[in-house]
Structure 1
Amino acid sequence: MKDSSIKNEYLKKIKLLHKYNKAYFDESKSLITDQEFDILKKQIFELEKKYSFLKHKNSPSKTLGFKPSKNFKKVKHRVPMLSLANAFNEEDLINFEKKIINFLSLSKLEEIEYSAEPKIDGISISLIYKNSYFVQGLSRGDGKEGEDITENLKTIKDIPKIIKVKNFPTEIDIRGEVFIQNDDFKNISEKFANPRNAASGSLRQKDPK
């Protein structure tokens, strides 16, 4: 395959990824499944690894998530909000384990224990508490800057406005996931395509009410 054809195929995938990211992060719409999205990202990574001349500012190797919406104030994360890599098959898991063994300088004969849990499909958030009070909440955004969605997060009763426990840090950044249970989603299913879109759409309303 000629370099020009390879580059065109690469740019086509980058354009698709950007389109899906914009819909996902800016419009709270999922145009493809998570698995299809992850496969597309993997294809881009593989092309970049194979052909060193392939580079683009919107490549997933250069960016994370999507730029914060203009509807909300941008705030820089004190520590970048990164994401986890995916494993699609046994080979990916074996390669991951090799990296762990090398990083920790372990023997190849040493066993590594795994724990697994269901993946919650929601919205990553950062909750900042000062002197026990919830003072600011941010979305992931592009990983470096997030959207200030504090007022929207205050409407979630499961997020405490104040935490009074012994030896609680003077200032702390708590990160987690906002999601909607399937049973709760049934009440608003006419407005949103799925629970993840409902969580995202609710948090990114201009009017938190």
Structure 2
Amino acid sequence: MSSIEERQKLFEEIYQKLILPFPPGTVEFKNQNPASAHIPVQAYQHRVNVAAGNFASWRLTTEQPIIHEAERMLEMRGVLQIVDASYEGQGFVEFERDERTKRIKYFNERCKAAASLAFVDACDCFEMGWIDLGRKWSNNPGTGVPERTGGSVVRSDKKDGETRRQCIFPGCGKFVDEKLLKLYQWKNAQCEEHIPEHVKRKFLNRQEG
């Protein structure tokens, strides 16, 4: 495959696979804050392998980790290339030094963790996970997310050809009742149990008024 048009077509085919929603349950949380939602590096690696195969390559661009001493942060960088498109990702992890030797503790593990985060960062540039993570800017039509999903979709699934949204509350996973959300005039993807009480009270006040 040599012509520019053929390679562009190939990339577009791969790209459409890269940006698909991940399976339900892929998104994990570091704590009870919905903002801590993230997708493990292994899910991104699998997505790239399945969607791009031999047309993808990943290489670290830092022979040695970049040490930000004042911030106590270790940085690694790498480039993910898919067909002719490439993005550099950055990954940062905190570190501690041994008081006696002054060496960074668990140095190899810290480097690997930073490299994994750099890979995730590069995948993000290819728009992987944009639909699933439900970031604040996801509803902006300029991101392409609403166009792909027919609306604001967070951690979605499909049944009978219709897109269903999962509750964004950490660890919940229940599918939301869109009719109920419309009734409450609430846009966040939350099941009945996790719709905020003040929203429910506001609805009741409207009914009583």
TM class by shorter-chain length?
under 0.3
More RCO (CA 8 Å, sep 6+)? 1
TM-score, normalization by structure 1: 0.25
Normalized per residue, the structure richer in strand is 2
Larger radius of gyration between Structure 1 and Structure 2: 2
| Normalised TM-score (structure 2) | 0.25
User: Where is the helix percentage greater, Structure 1 or Structure 2?
Assistant: 2
